[in-house]
Structure 1
Amino acid sequence: MATPVHRALLAVDLEGSGKRDNHAVVESRRVLFGELRQAFEASGIPWSLCATETAGDEMVVIVPPEFPKRNLIHPLLGHLADGLRHHNRQAAASVLLRVRVAVHAGDLLVDDYGTTGRPQTHLARLLGSTPLRAALAAAPPTATVALLVSDHFYEDVVGQGHRGIDPDLFTPVEVREKETETRAWLHVPGHTATHSAQSRNSADKSSPTDRVGGVRISGSDVKIGGDLFGGDKYNYPPPS
């Protein structure tokens, strides 16, 4: 019988990989996963103790329970964003890197093939969601990371007032992907306006509406330059 274990989960996905040739994809993976490893190590989470699952330019990192979940937000995101920004200053256009990041936590099941369970499925829906893709696409070129955390992770970690984590910098958005309909919290490090506690509390009463990194978000709809992504128009950004 599969054994349940509680784990924090972080997933990354490279923006624009579908536009890269094979050589650029290999180089992008090498740099991205290397920077991710360094960000974990610099945040006090030994890479060798984490489990990883890789598919193309995506990676899911499964974090042992003895390490504080808050470290996945601070200082890890800052280390990752800085590392990618440093790379981009020297890189050719074909290997400029910006990433979408999703964070969640929950009980996974361990079987003969590794880990599985609804938390991993939920994480995948967050990572591939329209609000997260749109936020990074609309953010300035200097923004190298866009983050979406689950409502559960926000309540348990982000909203608890840990040093280095400002809950006011996270904006509630509605995620509707396949069978998933949920609220999540969006943040573009270094490019997110401060939101009041009143605006966060209002998300409990109505669909969230706000502006993050140049993206206007209303419920599941995201407006960029007047174009509507999601909602009834189903004008989704090109897949990447």
Structure 2
Amino acid sequence: MEEEAFLVASEWETRFIVLADIEGFGLRSDSAQHVLHKDVYDAMEAALRRAGVDLDSMQTSDRGDGMLMLLPPNLGMTVLLREMVRGLDDTLIEHRRRHSEAYRMRLRVGIGSGQVMRQGDLWTGRAINELNQLVNADQVKKRLKGVEGARMVFVVGDHLYHQVVQGYHAGIDPAVYESFDLVTKHQETLRGWLTLPGFPTPDVTEAGRSHGGGPVPEVPAGAGGSPVNFNSSGTNYGPVIQGVNIQGINLGR
């Protein structure tokens, strides 16, 4: 029994986790779903190549309306964030220009890291589950839906936000991120941070920008989520992270 436990434990791997979902995929026609399924792969792979990711070093799991990507842990997080987000936004701008409304896509994208295990064609792990819950939170969906012309909403977990974004490293602006809390079905509270590249945050004022700390939104007992508490101000030009190469840090929860 001890030998079996050891063998199972040795299969856990630390990976960067990227999750992408297409907004409203199930409401599209069969032909649109066919096109968008291919397009989201092309868009994500182009963005990751721009970030310097060797596509042969990552594993991909199809999700129907999107994809799960597991990247090697030795990547620089700041470079990955900056180039992936910029590259993906550029690709979506071009995609929007070339397609009619019926074939355009808007994405919910999240990044995190943690321990994962492969089981056949599937990958499991708490870090994957938590990122999936954040990316699919009602607050994230409503935020994207409420901004006409937005191409994507980008989400990071609380640990990554505090380790990287709120550290005020060169080129990082925490004010473009908005906090939200999610209560899971197990009554655990997850905090996430979202941004819409190229679009202003709510409550823009002339007084300046907040530092993105934010009070904890009230969460009704037993609720499956809570309204997002927008407390940042300023103009959101997307995450701009440069000058710092963070490696060897566990950015998962």
TM-score tier after normalising by the smaller chain length: 0.7 to 0.9
Q: Which residue of 2 aligns with 1:57?
A: 65
Q: Which residue of 1 aligns with 2:151?
A: 144
Q: Which residue of 2 aligns with 1:12?
A: 20
Q: For residues 138 and 161 of structure 1, do their structure 2 counterparts lie closer, same or farther at Cα, with a shift above 3 Å needed? A: same
Partner secondary structure for residue 153 of structure 1: helix
Task: Give the root-mean-square deviation of aligned CA atoms.
Answer: 2.1
Q: Which residue of 1 aligns with 2:163?
A: 156
- C-alpha distance in 2 between matches for 1:11 and 1:113: 16
CA contact (8 A) 2:178 2:193 kept: yes
Aligned-pair distance for 1:162?
Answer: 4.1
Partner secondary structure for residue 110 of structure 2: strand
Q: Which residue of 1 aligns with 2:217?
A: 207
Between structures 1 and 2, the one with greater strand share: 1
Aligned-pair distance for 1:40?
Answer: 0.3
TM-score (norm: length of structure 1): 0.79
- C-alpha distance in 2 between matches for 1:177 and 1:101: 19
Q: Identity of paired residues, percent?
A: 26
- C-alpha distance in 1 between matches for 2:14 and 2:164: 15
Q: Which residue of 2 aligns with 1:43?
A: 51
Partner secondary structure for residue 75 of structure 1: helix
Partner secondary structure for residue 28 of structure 1: helix
CA contact (8 A) 1:74 1:165 kept: no
Q: For residues 35 and 202 of structure 1, do their structure 2 counterparts lie closer, same or farther at Cα, with a shift above 3 Å needed? A: closer
Structure having the higher Rg: 2
For this pair of structures, how many residues does the alignment match? 208
CA contact (8 A) 2:22 2:65 kept: yes
2:176 equivalent to 1:169? yes
CA contact (8 A) 1:102 1:147 kept: yes
CA contact (8 A) 2:157 2:192 kept: yes
Aligned ranges 1:1-240 → 2 under 5 Å = 1-2=8-9, 3-111=11-119, 115-141=123-149, 143-179=150-186, 180-193=188-201, 195-197=209-211, 200-203=212-215, 206-207=216-217, 220-222=226-228
Deviations 1:35-62 (A, max 9, x none): 1100000111122211111111221111
Which blocks of at least 5 consecutive residues in structure 1 are unaligned? Answer: 209-218, 224-240
Which blocks of at least 5 consecutive residues in structure 2 are unaligned? Answer: 1-7, 219-224, 230-253
CA contact (8 A) 2:116 2:123 kept: yes
Query: Deviating runs (4+, > 4 A) in structure 1?
Result: 110-114
Partner secondary structure for residue 162 of structure 2: helix
CA contact (8 A) 1:75 1:164 kept: no
CA contact (8 A) 2:61 2:122 kept: no
Q: Which amino acid aligns with 2:210?
A: S
Aligned-pair distance for 1:20?
Answer: 1.0
Aligned-pair distance for 1:112?
Answer: 5.3
- C-alpha distance in 2 between matches for 1:162 and 1:83: 27
- C-alpha distance in 1 between matches for 2:122 and 2:104: 33
Partner secondary structure for residue 190 of structure 1: coil
Partner secondary structure for residue 139 of structure 1: coil
Question: Quick check: 158-167 or 96-105, which moved more?
Answer: 158-167
Q: Which amino acid aligns with 2:227?
A: D
